Amino acid sequence: MDIKIEPGWKEQLEDEFEKPYFTSLTGFVKSEYAAQKIYPPGKLIFNAFEKCPFDKTKVVILGQDPYHEPGQAHGLCFSVPDGVSLPPSLQNIFKEIKNDLGIAVPKSGNLERWAEQGVFLLNATLTVRAHQAGSHQKRGWEMFTDKVITLLSESREHLVFLLWGAYAQRKSELINTSKHLILSSVHPSPLSAHRGFFGNHQFSKTNEYLKSHGKSPVNW
């Protein structure tokens, strides 16, 4: 199956695109876009991969679902396009960056600038129906994104995986901790951020680890 995706990722994932589950997933997603309002726009489903090539990835942040309200989702977890108000979890991420590194909270929630530095912003499910959180879960996306995490763990070295909340933390079993760093905490949502997201200093810890392995730090 010819999936339009960044060439480095395409090379890594070619076999996955031919598997029966992915064929079934593709049929489901196409039918949903034809009949329903689905986010993100079709051309941005693989935006995280486009903005952060396989061999440039240094940090992985894992989300669960795309945003499901108009104008928010653009294929990068936690990120929103320029001009869109900051969702609560993203506000809390920026607050912790300010607390940790002294960087002022930006006006834009567009995290493409992180992706272009090697921060892979992956949602476990890459599409969603408008106004229906979780509506495309258990259709095959998780199998695909688990494979993506496994490939990064097996084929790369000295990556940082930021796993926020119980859902993301379950993915730790896919990651080889002898050659990668996992930083876990509660989710940055307003429901949990005060129970350990604030004060986790994971942005500075990420940069310290990258520098210790000869990689450039992220300008958060």
DSSP class of residue 164? E
Which residue's entry shows tokens 């993100």?
A: 40
Hey, which residues are catalytic here? 65
Q: Left, alpha or beta for 52 (phi > 0: left; psi -120 to 50: alpha)?
A: beta
Neighbouring residues of 84: CB distance < 8 A, sequence distance ≥ 6: 71, 72, 109
In this prediction the pTM is 0.97
The per-residue pLDDT for range 196-205, each reduced to its tens digit, is 999 999 999 9
Type of residue at 192:
S
The per-residue pLDDT for range 64-111, each reduced to its tens digit, is 999 999 999 999 999 999 999 999 999 999 999 999 999 999 999 999
